[in-house]
Amino acid sequence: MTRKFFVGGNWKLNGTRDFVETFVPILNASPSENVEVVVAPPSPLIALVRGRLREDWGVSAQNCWKVAAGAFTGEISAELAKDVGAKWVILGHSERRTIFHESDELIAEKVAHALAIDLKVIACIGETLAEREAGQTLDVVYRQLKAIAGKVSNWSGVVIAYEPVWAIGTGKVATPAQAQEVHAALRTWLTSNVSVDASSSTRIIYGGSVTADNCNELAKQGDIDGFLVGGASLKPDFVKIVNAKL
Ligand SMILES: O=C(CO)COP(=O)(O)O
């Protein structure tokens, strides 16, 4: 089965309305062939980005809460993210796991809720440097994936993002071989624990210091189906990453 290449731009806590007005036209004027592209601005900018961004690219939230509404000061719901124009939400990002202490269980509940209201999920997993050096990489990503997979019945609404924590924002990108090894293991895990169909159809994308310079070699790996890009998604170079397969 062919998996459509998928590139997400995670702006994290960056961007303003002025930035949207100058940067989005650059994205809109760029070629993007045979690739699914999703831009994830901070939540106050979702509606503006949706209004300005080309129709063929999607918009994602960076997080959401696990119920529709209520006394949850500071949160946004999956319903609200959808209401203002998001089709996707990033869940389980390592910054949510570490800085905001989100557990596998909480992330799984969020995944279940988002999918239940047809908000698609970019589900992030990845090991720390200490875990990698202790030889625990696969144990960690299998544990994180198992929690998420337990809540998924329709895998067409899910993209898995392998983001080794040691590669995020550090300039230390995983080598193509290191990333491919984990991606292939994740795909095998899906075959054994979910289904052959989920394994062959689900996009597994890589994130962590992806740039215009390193994206082409990573994109050549058989089990790397795209990227989740942080810092470089705020620069015109993002377009080169979108077109890494061309
Ligand atoms: O966390 C990331 C994307 O979600 C990766 O960030 P960088 O591309 O800045 O390393």
- Domain CATH number, residue 182: 3.20.20.70
Q: Is the CB of 210 under 6 A from ligand 1?
A: yes
Residue 34 CA to ligand 1 center (angstroms) comes to: 23
Domain that holds residue 52: 5-242
Q: Is the CB of 209 under 6 A from ligand 1?
A: yes
Mean pLDDT of the chain: 97
Which residues make Cβ contacts (< 8 Å) with residue 85, sequence separation at least 6? 46, 47, 49, 50, 51, 59
Instruction: Assess whether 163 carries a catalytic annotation.
Output: yes
Is the ipTM here above 0.90? yes
Instruction: Assess whether 183 carries a catalytic annotation.
Output: no
Residue with tokens 């996009």: 203
Q: What percent of the chain has pLDDT over 90?
A: 98
The ligand 1 atom at the shortest distance from the C-alpha of residue 12 is 4
* CA distances from residue 156 to 8, 20, 152, 177 in whole angstroms, order as listed: 16, 30, 10, 27
In this prediction, residue 2 has a pLDDT band, given cuts at 50, 70 and 90, of confident
Number of domains in the chain: 1
> What pairing do the DSSP bridges indicate for beta strands 5-10 and 204-207?
unpaired
Condensed to tens digits (0 to 9), the pLDDT of residues 49-105 reads 999 999 999 999 999 999 999 999 999 999 999 999 999 999 999 999 999 999 999
Q: Is 99 exposed, middle or buried (0-12, 13-18, 19+ CB in 10 A)?
A: exposed
Residue identifier of the C-alpha nearest atom 6 of ligand 1: 230
In this prediction, residue 158 has a pLDDT band, given cuts at 50, 70 and 90, of very high
Residue 67 CA to ligand 1 center (angstroms) comes to: 27
Condensed to tens digits (0 to 9), the pLDDT of residues 20-29 reads 999 999 999 9
Structure tokens at 55: 């129709």
Catalytic residue among 102, 113, 163, 183: 163
The ligand 1 atom at the shortest distance from the C-alpha of residue 95 is 1
Q: Is the CB of 10 under 6 A from ligand 1?
A: yes
Catalytic residue among 93, 113, 131, 183: 93
pLDDT of residue 1: 65
